[in-house]
């Protein structure tokens, strides 16, 4: 990008992504026209990616407080009390557009960026999870994107030394032109070691530490706030994509977390780089900065001021250090093999002043830069009413239907994908991918632990964004309960199309409304997250796709259910099989129609979750699996495949009872001596529990309507790979 002197400020601002009313607002507030460097800062900081100008009011309706919340929205990462003086810092971020253009580096730097958010909170990263949405799995483009994204996630996380403990992968042709790459990171920190971004103390030093600053990723935040056009793979787009170095990232993490004395505030350098970090740190602390760009270590000669300020080079932090501890801090970072330099100081002016070559190139109110974006107001439109599936007779061979569902992308095995990730580094993971319904890790030196569930699906929300988001919340809570964990907090990633389209803005608003209503029903707060808009390509917008990460706490990890059944256990059905043909993979398979809204009952999910946690804590539940995509039959088949053992189920089953999708349903197993007690406890807790079968043998049998060998199930699920 060239800051031409031949164009007006208005023309240049619009070319950078600002709109006319925002430019007018800047001029009115400053009482002058911004210079070209200042204008570039506003273009980045007031982009959708950084300012949330289209969603701030919507997100402000979400519940954000709770007994365990230690840091909420606006912090580096949300943080919750997980027991024994430990906090778990966690957050979701998206890297969708960079991954569409350059899948390896887009995904790798997405992981690197979210890890730095956790480190900035003072936490040592202990887990990464990813949510990936791709188009048709058979197309060359999807295979190219998938291979690059998976390699990028693994390449960064494995080298950094953080385990990838699970995630979700969705395939839908509506993501063909605009894939989604969302990552969640979590880290542990003692309560008294959590850090802030608030810069205070006039005269304290501003340090930049980590990698040198180059020209990669300049105005990447603005690029992330645009729709992808026909030229989205063009080299000009790729210049917006950052390049990661996980080995430098790991050294920097170690240096950051071992810095003991003199640290006042810190912030990682991500979107909009130095411009973002300095303005936000000053705004948070009610202070200002004087910054000298010549002191910033640079890896390319001749960088212009706006390039240094807006560079999104990876593996960098900005710190405020007490003035008498500067030499100690510089020596500390250099001893860890990372660059460190004093590049400014804190002032009490409230202004961001930036100097370069003896010239003041920026002089702006820090709060105005960081928080002054005018809200973007969009029109709302009407959404089509979800239509029931066309009537059809139940197929004669329900076993064949089950095999078809097990092989459906999004249900079928993806172990070939996540096996490329290190899942156990750090020796903290108790349950990883394929070992249960949620990831489980232990607290240091303790029997207590925590669990993480990550869910996401655009199909449910395209039919009805409000109910679809609640359906996902219910699924995440059930997942946690199946490993004995009580849900305590959420981080969300909201992915949507262009808000300038009234229908797409309405879908976005309804998604967030559904999230808020669901959280209030379940009594769970949100501690932060991410909104990614303008996820559109010439082939159209993506379906609204919330990615929801939920943290649960476990008092004693020795009581959590096993991931696998064993012979002789009693099979229990919890909840009521669906009777109504709500939105389901089965309905789409049989009709080719998207179908009606999902069936949601969050009160049933809440009761089931509390019941499963209580019974697990008593040691009664041997294994548990909730019913999600594909319904009860698919859930039980996956459990049988994972356990390598068959089941014999009784009862009267219709096709919708087998394959319908709803709320409040799970399978569990128990010993013969405990099954009766669980049934009785269910009646007292308002949860229907039925003793319905046994675990044994080599076949999967459901009451005369399905009779398949384990080999048939396995072949369908693994696609012949195992």
Contact by Cβ (8 Å): 494, 511: yes
CA-to-CA separations, 358 to 3, 288, 307, in angstroms, rounded: 20, 19, 17
- In the residue annotation, 332 being an active-site residue is answered as no
Sign of CA dihedral 459, 460, 463, 469: negative
Output b/e per residue, 269-301; b: 16+ Cβ within 10 A.
bbbbbbbbbbbbbbbbbebbbbbbbeebebeee
* 316 torsion bin: left (phi>0), alpha (psi -120 to 50), beta (else): beta
- Which pair of structure tokens corresponds to residue 550? 């939920």
Q: Rounded to an integer, what distance in angstroms lies between the CA atom of residue 438 and that of residue 447?
A: 18
DSSP 260: -
Quote the CA–CA distance of 116 and 497 in Å, as a whole number.
27
Q: Return d(Cα 624, Cα 642) in angstroms, integer.
A: 12
Tokens of 139: 């197309």
Complete edge-to-edge strand list for the sheet that includes strand 666-670: 623-626, 666-670, 570-574, 689-695, 647-649, 699-702, 706-709
DSSP labels for 439-475?
EEEEPTTSS-EEEEEEEE-HHHHHH-HHHHHHHHHHH
CB 183 within 8 A of CB 93: yes
Alpha carbon distance 437, 625 (integer Å): 7
49 classed as catalytic: yes
Q: How many CA atoms lie within 13 A of 327 on its CB side?
A: 1
| Cα dist from 598 to 33, 537, 573, whole Å | 52, 27, 21
- What does the alpha-carbon distance between residue 267 and residue 244 come to, in Å, rounded to a whole number? 18
Classified as helix, coil or strand, 585 is: helix
DSSP 151-167: HHHHHHHHHHT--EEEE
- CA–CA gap between residue 441 and residue 429 (Å, rounded): 4
With CA atoms as reference, report the closest residue to 647 among 561, 569, 574, 562.
Answer: 569
259: Cα within 13 Å, side-chain hemisphere: 35
**SS3 assignment, position 21:** helix
**Cα–Cα distance between 193 and 261 in angstroms, integer?**
12
Of 25, 76, 95, 356, which is the active-site residue? 95
Reading the block at residue 423, the tokens are 């899942």
Q: Please tell me which residue in 49, 76, 97, 232 is annotated as part of the active site.
A: 49
Cα distances from 686 to residues 336, 600, 610, in angstroms, run 57, 17, 11
The residues assigned a catalytic role are: 49, 95
């Amino acid at each position: 990008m060239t800051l031409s002197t031949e164009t007006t400020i208005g023309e240049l601002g619009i070319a950078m992504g600002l709109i006319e009313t925002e430019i007018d607002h800047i001029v009115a507030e400053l009482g002058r026209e911004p210079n070209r460097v200042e204008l570039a800062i506003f273009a980045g900081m007031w982009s959708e990616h950084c300012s949330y100008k289209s969603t701030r009011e919507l997100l402000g309706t979400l519940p954000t407080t709770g007994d365990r919340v230690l840091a909420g929205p606006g912090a580096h990462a949300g943080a919750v009390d997980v027991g024994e003086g430990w906090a778990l810092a966690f957050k979701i971020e998206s890297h969708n557009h960079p991954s569409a253009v350059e899948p390896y580096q887009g995904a790798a730097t997405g992981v690197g960026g979210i890890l730095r958010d956790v480190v900035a909170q003072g936490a040592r990263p202990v887990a990464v999870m990813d949510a990936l949405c791709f188009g048709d799995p058979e197309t060359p483009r999807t295979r190219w994107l998938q291979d690059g994204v998976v390699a990028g996630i693994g390449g960064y996380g494995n080298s950094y030394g953080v385990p990838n403990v699970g995630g979700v992968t969705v395939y839908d042709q509506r993501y063909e032109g605009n894939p989604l790459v969302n990552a969640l990171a979590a880290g542990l920190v003692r309560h008294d070691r959590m850090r802030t971004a608030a810069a205070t103390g006039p005269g304290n030093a501003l340090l930049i530490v980590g990698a040198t600053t180059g020209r990669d990723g300049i105005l990447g935040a603005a690029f992330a706030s645009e729709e992808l056009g026909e030229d989205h793979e063009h080299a000009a787009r790729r210049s917006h994509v950052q390049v990661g170095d996980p080995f430098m990232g790991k050294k920097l993490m170690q240096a950051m977390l071992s810095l003991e004395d003199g640290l006042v505030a810190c912030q990682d350098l991500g979107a909009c780089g130095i411009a973002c970090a300095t303005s936000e740190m000053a705004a948070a602390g009610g202070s200002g900065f004087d910054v000298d760009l010549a002191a910033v270590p640079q890896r390319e000669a001749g960088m212009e001021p706006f390039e240094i300020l807006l560079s999104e080079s990876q593996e960098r932090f900005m710190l405020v250090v007490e003035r008498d501890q500067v030499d100690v801090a510089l020596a500390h970072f250099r001893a860890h093999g990372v660059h460190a330099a004093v590049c400014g100081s804190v002032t009490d002016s409230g202004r961001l002043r930036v100097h370069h070559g003896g010239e003041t190139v920026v002089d702006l109110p820090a709060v105005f830069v960081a928080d002054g974006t005018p809200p973007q107001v969009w029109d709302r439109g009407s959404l089509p009413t979800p239509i029931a599936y066309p009537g059809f007779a139940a197929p004669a061979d329900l076993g064949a239907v089950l095999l078809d569902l097990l092989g459906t992308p999004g249900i079928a095995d993806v172990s070939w994908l996540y096996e490329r990730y290190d899942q156990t580094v750090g020796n903290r993971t108790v349950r990883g991918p394929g070992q249960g319904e949620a990831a489980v890790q232990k607290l240091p030196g303790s029997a207590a632990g925590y669990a993480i569930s990550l869910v996401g699906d655009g199909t449910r929300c395209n039919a009805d964004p409000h109910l679809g988001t609640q359906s996902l919340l219910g699924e995440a809570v059930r997942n946690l309960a199946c490993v004995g964990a009580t849900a305590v907090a959420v981080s969300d990633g909201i992915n949507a199309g262009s808000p300038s389209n009234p229908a797409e803005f309405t879908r976005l608003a309804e998604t967030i409304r559904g999230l808020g209503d669901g959280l209030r029903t379940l009594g769970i707060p949100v501690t932060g997250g991410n909104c990614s808009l303008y996820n559109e390509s010439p082939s159209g917008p993506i379906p609204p796709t919330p990615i929801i990460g939920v943290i649960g706490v476990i008092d004693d990890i020795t009581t959590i259910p096993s991931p696998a059944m064993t012979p002789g256990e009693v099979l229990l059905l919890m909840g009521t099989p669906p009777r109504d043909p709500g939105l389901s993979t089965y309905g789409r398979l049989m009709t080719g129609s998207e179908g009606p809204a999902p069936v949601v009952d969050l009160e049933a999910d809440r009761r089931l979750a509390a019941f499963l946690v209580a019974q697990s804590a008593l040691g009664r539940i041997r294994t548990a699996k909730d019913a999600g995509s594909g319904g009860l039959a698919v859930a039980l088949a996956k459990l049988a495949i994972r356990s390598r053992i068959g089941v014999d189920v009784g009862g009267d089953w219709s096709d919708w009872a087998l394959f319908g999708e709803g709320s409040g349903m799970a399978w569990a197993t128990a010993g013969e001596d405990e099954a009766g007690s669980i049934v009785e406890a269910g009646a007292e807790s308002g949860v229907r529990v039925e003793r319905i079968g046994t675990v044994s043998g080599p076949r999967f049998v459901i009451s005369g309507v399905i009779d398949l060998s384990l080999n048939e199930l396995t072949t369908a699920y693994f696609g012949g790979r195992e």
